[in-house]
Structure 1
Amino acid sequence: MPISQHTNYEEVPNALLVAFDRTITPARLHPYMFAAGFKKQRAIHLYIWNTMMGQSFHFPMQAFEVAYRNSIAAVFLDKYGDKWWRESVASKFLDERSVQELSFARRRLKQRGIKPNCDEMVAGLSFGFWAAMMAPRYKPAVWSSHLIQAFPNMPANLDHKGIYDRVNRILDLRNRIFHQEPLLGYNLSGLYSELMQMMKWICPETQAWVKSTCSVPRFIRLKP
């Protein structure tokens, strides 16, 4: 029963229910059992739906992460030059923890035999690093005058904090999906809308392409 075909939520055979106790474990199934009123068939359907939701979010999340980090990096490039990621430069505008993350990323590239440059460093840093770049501590030095450069289509009434809050909600969703955690109880429609909004503020054309291809709304409607 491939997950992509399991949208009608057929009854799961008893032998498979027993197998899930061994492979998925009752502890991992507990949130789904609780949400399903301890009806195991529905709990398994919720588990399958949760997996499908994660799959469907992967594409827009990936597209946003790449667009977002490139947009932030473009500001750093213009403001601090193409060596902004070197510790000697970054230490002038980033906090100690972020400078350490740059150092670790640079070291990882070298261990893989890759010569660090701006493009490789941008791709090699985590989404958590890039989300932290919108933290309030960086507003005076960077975002008081460059926010519109990173988000050229943002609404006029939106401020830096509004961007920061949205990015962190997206980061939290991304981490839950990538760690196979339950999405039950999350406002997935609202988070998807925020994801699409932020993509539009960076690039409307890319957002329209992602939205036309994305299956998130369909799987939200398929929740058992």
Structure 2
Amino acid sequence: MRFQTVQLYLSSQRLDRYLIASGNKKAKTIRLYKANLKIAQAFHPLLGILEVTLRNRINTILSVYFNDPDWITNQKFGFMSDPSLSYFDRRTGQRINNDFLKSSIEKSERRFQRLRLQITSGKIIADQTFGFWTDLFEVHHYRLLSGRPIQVFSNLPPAHGRREVCDRLNKIRQFRNRINHNEPICFNANIIDFTYVEDIYQSINDILIWIDPELIKWIKNIDSILIKIQRAKNI
């Protein structure tokens, strides 16, 4: 396909950054764009494993903590509605209600009702976003849960705790959003650089190892990220 045709379909604005980084070499621009896609594609299996593992471990731990297998729905009016989640914004003078978790559950329930599907805790859990689970490590919800979410990480290194976990999860969540919106991940300003994706890859590995080192061994044969990055560096 001619460069002008690719440019027509993808837009000049989207390709310009790749073109600049490639020194206005059109063939290299296309190769770099495809390499960016291939690296993003390679991340999806690991991100999927991380999300499902994190979600299921949190569910197990909080089911025990609340002594309730249906905590995900019953806690809409428990810790998810705690008065401490409501505060005044000094800048605007308005009251802010941090009801993200509760609203997420209610959104799922409304969707299942529209589809005339039976609402179960399992369906609600599976329907929550990655951001729902990472938000449990933010200080406001973490305190309300007496720090129980950290029990997910049975292999956490010494001197590591909520902050280190939360920082990595937020980086991973933001990265996941970038690739889901087809954003470039191979630049530092307008220079071709893979430091960002290498850092995210390490963060994913950290989280999985902290949950269970065996997970890294288990995903080895579906992990092609470093291979894709190395190929991109040779463009």
Q: TM-score, normalised by structure 2?
A: 0.82
CA distance in 2, matches of 1:114, 1:83: 17
The secondary structure found in structure 1 opposite 2:34 is helix
Deviation at 1:33, TM superposition (A): 1.4
Alignment match, 1:71:
57
Deviation at 1:198, TM superposition (A): 0.5
CA distance in 1, matches of 2:69, 2:76: 11
Deviation at 1:61, TM superposition (A): 0.7
The secondary structure found in structure 2 opposite 1:85 is helix
Alpha carbons 2:18, 2:33 under 8 Å: kept: yes
User: Among residues 82, 89, 100, which one is paired with 2:69 in the alignment?
Assistant: 82
Alpha carbons 2:150, 2:162 under 8 Å: kept: no
Deviation at 1:147, TM superposition (A): 4.1
Which runs of 4 or more aligned residues in structure 1 lie more than 6 Å from their structure 2 counterparts after TM superposition?
Answer: none
CA distance in 1, matches of 2:229, 2:77: 43
1:55 is the counterpart of 2:64: no
CA distance in 2, matches of 1:132, 1:37: 41
Deviation at 1:143, TM superposition (A): 4.9
Deviation at 1:221, TM superposition (A): 0.3
1:175 is the counterpart of 2:177: yes
Deviation at 1:216, TM superposition (A): 0.4
In 2 relative to 1, CA 97–213 (structure 1 residues): closer, same or farther, beyond 3 Å? Answer: closer
Identity among equivalent pairs (%): 25
Q: Letter of the aligned partner of 1:192 in structure 2?
A: Y
CA distance in 1, matches of 2:61, 2:231: 40
Alpha carbons 1:143, 1:160 under 8 Å: kept: no
Q: CA RMSD in A?
A: 1.7
Q: Letter of the aligned partner of 2:142 in structure 1?
A: K
1:28 is the counterpart of 2:14: yes
CA distance in 1, matches of 2:63, 2:118: 18
Which structure 2 residues correspond to residues 142-181 of structure 1 after superposition, within 5 A?
Answer: 142-144=145-147, 146-181=148-183
CA distance in 1, matches of 2:75, 2:10: 48
Q: TM-score, normalised by structure 1?
A: 0.86
Instruction: Give the gaps of 5 or more residues in structure 2.
Output: 81-97, 188-194
Alignment match, 2:101:
98
